[in-house]
Chain A
């Protein structure tokens, strides 16, 4: 974890979260599936947390594979 906190990837559905999880696993990029933090949304769903330092690599890995709704800092 960096001083800036975490980045969070938001998706429309749980299925997309898990597709993204597979992509990040294959790309060997550190991440964790967590419940969506309350400060972002009241959605009862899940999202993916990762180190902001990896942001470019995460975005690149997911491009064209899974549609990301939003990337937030928490």
Chain B
């Protein structure tokens, strides 16, 4: 039987915990209704499922009030709400040179309408020295929008230090936690995060089509909603309600997805993000050690596994990332991702634009044996062997 080794968890985690499938099946088979819209038993039960998911996700990020979390389709939608909602009328924003297009594209779109964007330069390992960002903060700076960890190199950003500086100056800090939610501990208050955008389908181990945005108390008055529509609340008025989370949740939500996300987030919460982090850091250290020992392999990003999320980008001398990925898939059953990973600026920063890199991203269900299999496969490809 051919073996499948899935190392693309930074794009979407797989496999998923059994409890996620069970929760989604249970919703479909015995609830199914529109949450809280109609007041009957099934409608209220659907709303209870969503509230429970909100509470679980809030607990993961140390958010005291679960209603501060609005559910979205993904981190991209959450980032668009935050960026368009805060900066839609222009002003000045600071970001980093390691951002994903889910941050850069909304910023560039608004730049065309008068927003001024400064990107703090990062090192060739993707690291940001806060001393390179702080001088960019001006009296008119409205927000800092930054990733918690690069999806290309995994490099962790100094969010706590940036958060303290922003809070002092009254600047909103918006963090893209796509790569870290569920696998790197996050405490929104301790880190001084004002807005946290997360996705459900990566390290939270939930289904695709789920994500959310946390807004610190009071920020809903400063962040405009992207969409308006039915919320099952304040129905006598034809204007969108201004309170959390209804302001950002127009229309029927993805209840089946949120049911799955709640179960998956509960699975992580039960084990503890710290324990998940420790396990994955061990896998990354093993992967870094293995890949670094192969002649012709250049590993990008910081060498210390504890300073990166579970993402390892590398290049092979004489073999393009796309050819290598094709061979890993066809000959070794290894699922990996080549190219730019939707983050051109990050590749310019680490010097791999436009060829890109080959990316391995282990996850909660990856085993040390999977890592060894992948390292051996890369070694053989580097030696020019087909298998």
Q: Give the dominant DSSP class at A's interface.
A: mixed
Residues of B within 8 A of A42 (CB): 235-236
Indicate if the CB atoms of B67 and A45 lie closer than 8 Å.
no
* CB of A40 to closest CB in B, whole Å: 11
Taking a contact as CB atoms under 8 Å apart, the answer to whether A13 and B39 are in contact is no
| Cβ A16 vs Cβ B67 within 8 A | yes
CA distance A18 to B66 in the complex (A): 12
B148 at the interface (CB under 8 A from A): no
Tell me if B206 counts as interface (CB < 8 A to partner A). no
Smallest beta-carbon distance B241→chain A, Å: 7
Q: Is the CB of B67 within 8 A of A15?
A: yes
> Which parts of B226-263 form the interface with A (CB within 8 Å)?
231-236, 241, 243, 245-246
CB pair B47 A12 closer than 8 Å: no
Q: How far is the CA of A56 from the CA of B148 in the complex (A)?
A: 47
Report yes or no: A45 in contact with B241, Cβ–Cβ below 8 A: no
Chain A residue nearest in CB terms to B37: A44
Partner of B233, one of A14, A18, A21, A34: A14
A41 — which chain B residues lie within 8 A by C-beta? 236
Tell me the minimal C-beta distance from B229 to chain A in angstroms.
13
Q: Find residues 22-57 in chain B having any chain A CB closer than 8 Å to their own CB.
A: 35-40, 43-44, 47-48, 50-51, 54
Contact of B232 among A14, A19, A21, A34 (CB under 8 A): A14
A14 to B246, CA, bound (A): 9
Q: Please, what's the 1-or-0 string for A16-48, where 1 marks a CB less than 8 Å from any CB in chain B?
A: 111101000000000001111000011111100
Interface residues on A, range: 10 to 19
A36 surroundings in chain B (CB, below 8 A): 39
User: How long is the Cα–Cα vector from A17 to B48 in the complex, in angstroms?
Assistant: 10
B50 / chain A contacts, CB cutoff of 8 Å: 15
User: Does the CB pair A18–B39 fall under 8 Å?
Assistant: no
CB < 8 Å A-B pair total? 69
Measured CA separation A44–B40 after assembly (Å)? 11
Residues of chain B within 8 A of A16, CB atoms compared: 67
CB 8 Å contact bits of A37-74 with B (1 = contact, 0 = none)? 00001111110000000000000000000000000000
Q: Is the CB of B243 within 8 A of A13?
A: yes
A60 to B40, CA, bound (A): 27
A43 to chain B: closest residue by CB: B235
Collect the chain B residues with CB atoms within 8 Å of residue A45's CB: 36, 39, 232-235
Instruction: Tell me if A35 and B38 are in contact (CB < 8 A).
Output: yes
Docked complex Cα distance between A46 and B232 (Å):
8
Contact call A15/B38, Cβ cutoff below 8 A = no
Q: Shortest CB–CB separation between residue A67 and chain B, in angstroms?
A: 9
Q: How long is the Cα–Cα vector from A45 to B44 in the complex, in angstroms?
A: 10
A33 touches which one: B39, B231, B241, B245 (CB < 8 A)? Answer: B39
> Which of B38, B43, B67 is close to A19, meaning CB atoms less than 8 Å apart?
B67
Contact, CB under 8 Å: B39 / A34: yes
Q: Which residues of chain B have C-beta atoms less than 8 A from A43's C-beta?
A: 233-236
The answer to whether A15 touches B245, judged by C-beta atoms less than 8 angstroms apart, is yes
Chain A, residue nearest B247 (CB): A13
Contact A12 B234, beta carbon cutoff 8 Å = yes
Residue among B48, B243, B245 making CB contact with A18, cutoff 8 Å: B48
Complex Cα spacing A70 to B38, Å: 20
CB distance from A22 to the nearest CB of B (A): 8
Specify which of A13, A34, A41, A43 lies most central, judged by the most chain B CB atoms within 10 Å of its CB.
Answer: A13
The residues of B with any CB-CB pair to A shorter than 8 Å are: 35-40, 43-44, 47-48, 50-51, 54, 66-67, 231-236, 241, 243, 245-246
Identify 25 residue pairs between A and B in the complex whose beta-carbon atoms are under 8 Å apart, listed by A's number: A12-B233, A12-B234, A12-B246, A13-B67, A13-B233, A13-B243, A15-B47, A15-B51, A15-B54, A15-B66, A15-B245, A18-B36, A18-B47, A18-B48, A18-B51, A19-B51, A21-B48, A33-B44, A36-B39, A43-B234, A43-B235, A44-B37, A45-B36, A45-B232, A46-B44
5 nearest CB pairs, A to B: A35-B39, A14-B36, A13-B233, A44-B235, A46-B39
Given contacts A14-B233, A15-B51, A46-B39, could you give 13 more A-B pairs where the C-beta distance is less than 8 Å? A12-B233, A13-B67, A13-B246, A14-B232, A15-B36, A18-B47, A36-B39, A42-B235, A43-B234, A44-B37, A44-B235, A45-B39, A46-B47
